[in-house]
């Protein structure tokens, strides 16, 4: 399990790179969120992330185990992570977007 961080973080980094690359080819938004509303959402997200991740608060929920620390649990979790990220990349792909567009035109 020494390389567990790489196995989990690697797909997320790849997903972020794919997401940013595909975002370059999208049209600008017609509407955007108000600056004050966006700032509130980002602040709440930062607080929630800190409460989940930082053990200094004493309630780090990501350190709590709901399943046993076994290799099979890790492998199943990594597979589910990769499937979920793959679905997110596929949903942003031009082919999937075209299919959605044509489905709504019929």
The reported pTM is 0.62
pLDDT of 82 reads 93
pLDDT in tens, 55-77: 666 666 666 778 888 999 999 99
Domain parsing of the chain, residue ranges? 36-65, 67-106
* Cα(9)–Cα(83) distance, integer angstroms: 14
pLDDT of residue 94: 72
pLDDT-above-90 percentage for the chain: 24
State how far the Cα of 49 lies from the Cα of 52, in Å rounded to an integer: 5
Mean pLDDT of 9-29: 83
Of 10-19, 20-29, 85-94, the poorest mean pLDDT is in 20-29
The helices-and-strands tally (H runs, E runs) of the chain is: 4, 0
């Amino acid at each position: 399990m020494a390389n567990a961080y790489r196995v989990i973080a690697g797909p997320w980094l790849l997903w972020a790179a794919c997401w940013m690359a595909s975002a370059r080819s999208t049209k600008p938004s017609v509407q955007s969120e108000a600056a004050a509303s966006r700032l509130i959402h980002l602040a709440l997200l930062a607080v929630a992330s800190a409460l989940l991740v930082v053990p200094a608060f004493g309630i780090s929920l990501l350190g709590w185990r709901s399943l046993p620390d076994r290799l099979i649990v890790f492998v199943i979790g990594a597979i589910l992570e990769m499937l979920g990220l793959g679905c997110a990349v596929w949903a942003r792909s031009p082919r999937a977007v075209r299919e959605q567009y044509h489905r709504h035109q019929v």
